[in-house]
Amino acid sequence: MASGIKDKVAIIGMGCSRFGERWDCGTAELQAEAFEEALKDAGIERKQIDAVWTGSGLDAVNTGNSAIPTAMALRLDGIPVSRMENMCATGTETLRGAAYAVASGAADIALAIGAEKLKDTGYGGLPTPYKGTFNDLWLPLGSAPAGFAQLAAGYRAKYGFSKEELKRALAHVSWKSHENGVLSPKAHLRKQVTMEQIINAPMIADPLGLFDCCGVSDGAAAAIVTTPEIARALGKKDLVTIKALQLAIGSGVESTTDQWDGSYVRTTRMAAKRAYAEAGITDPRKQLGLMEVHDCFSITELVTMEDLFISPDGGAVRDELDGFFDRTGGGVPCQVDGGLKCFGHPIAASGLRMAYEVYTQLLGRAGERQLSNPTIGLTHNLGGVPYLGIAAISILGLLG
């Protein structure tokens, strides 16, 4: 039986570019910005890296469909580089590849990096690169706001919330992220908004208004991983290790049978159960110190609280309104850096950006937004749509 990789891999360096409308640079410069920070943080030279996993979700508007541009941009001469793509889970997938290489003994030190340059497309939302079966058969004329608005409808119908109750809970999700984003120097959007502004904003796809939808940004993030033994030999003292890395991908069964009621995301629940088992977590509501989840839309974050078994089914609305996920005074702070809502969603960078925040918090480096002594944190990515998609979860913690 598989034993997992708990505490077999340590993160010794991370980097994150500034997210936003980066008209001043291209994908290569974003990669370099994140990589140089990670390299400095790790205290190593690039020649010490044995293997690299690079992520780009939309190859048509970024680095192309090979790893060569990344090798050129980062001057990775002779080092094996592999390109990853797994929709919105691409960033976490690069970390999974690098971590598995280290855990298996195939590499001593490995790099995971994800970057996306979306603003140059001139398109208001995400481009549509997934041709063939996915778009033509499953999402003809579909859009992300519409798909997740349907999740909101299914959730409200199942638990009997009024439209006003759900709207106020969704508004709190966005309000919380903006409060936190103000304290994140690398975030795209750093402006406080009121609950009234959120509730009265223009409607995008009922019940999702303007502030319920994350923006489109450029950005990159990177992680350098090795074994705890090598990390110690490099002089690292407080070690952040990977407690779990799990991925679950749907087969479409939700949309082809009557077994799914549209109120939750099945793949997140599957990945969460595996991740908790791997990490040895029995009560995530009490054991987790912080979370960074895939808040592409406010309803996604709300439902994810139940899919991660933090809130009971139908209980996330009350937890949200009670401030359980707030940065100050909350039980399990969520989106401490502002999340996708304030960083935007450069697809391949998002998963690593989440890990960057957890890593920064665990090491006590988060400045004004620093939490009080967190020891374990979770990241969650959701790709595709609620009824056909990918869920990726990482759990990071200090090595005891």
Query: Is residue 345 annotated as a catalytic residue, yes or no?
Result: yes
Give, in degrees to the nearest 5, the angle at Cα 24 between 23 and 25: 95
pLDDT digits (tens, 9 = 90+) for 203-261: 999 999 999 999 999 999 999 999 999 999 999 999 999 999 999 998 888 877 788 88
Which one of 188, 294, 345, 380 is the catalytic residue?
A: 345
As a whole number of angstroms, the distance between CA 298 and CA 293 comes to 11
- State the distance between the two ends of the chain, measured CA to CA, in whole angstroms: 25
Topology of domain 143-215+244-398 in CATH is Peroxisomal Thiolase; Chain A, domain 1 (3.40.47)
- Report the C-alpha gap between 62 and 54 in whole angstroms: 12
Taking only the tens place, the pLDDT of each residue in 265-317 is 999 999 999 999 999 999 999 999 999 999 999 999 999 999 999 999 999 99
198 and 174 in contact (C-beta within 8 Å)?
yes
Q: Where in the chain is the domain with CATH 3.40.47.10?
A: 10-126+218-241, 143-215+244-398
Assess whether 213 carries a catalytic annotation: no
Band the pLDDT of 132: cuts 50, 70, 90: very low
Contact 50, 236 (CB under 8 A): no
For residue 376, the SS3 value is strand
CA distances from 106 to 19, 54, 97 (A): 33, 17, 11
CA-to-CA dists, residue 140 to 26, 128, 144, 265, angstroms: 31, 11, 12, 21
What's the mean pLDDT in 172-200?
Answer: 97
Residues paired with 49 in a beta bridge: none
High-pLDDT (> 90) share of the chain, %: 82
Residue 75 scores a pLDDT above 50: yes
For residue 374, whether the previous peptide bond is cis, meaning omega lies within 30 degrees of 0, is no
Please identify which of the residues 88, 213, 296, 342 carries the catalytic annotation: 88
Beta-carbon contacts of residue 71 (< 8 Å; ≥ 6 apart): 52, 77, 79, 81
Confidence of residue 1 (pLDDT cuts 50, 70, 90): low
318 φ, ψ (degrees, to nearest 5)? -65, -45
Per-residue model confidence (pLDDT) at position 131: 46
Tell me the pTM. 0.95
Topology of domain 10-126+218-241, CATH: Peroxisomal Thiolase; Chain A, domain 1 (3.40.47)
Per the DSSP assignment, residues forming a β-bridge with 373 are none
How many angstroms separate the CA atoms of 266 and 269, rounded? 5
Per-residue pLDDT of 18-54, as tens digits, reads 999 999 999 999 999 999 999 999 999 999 999 999 9
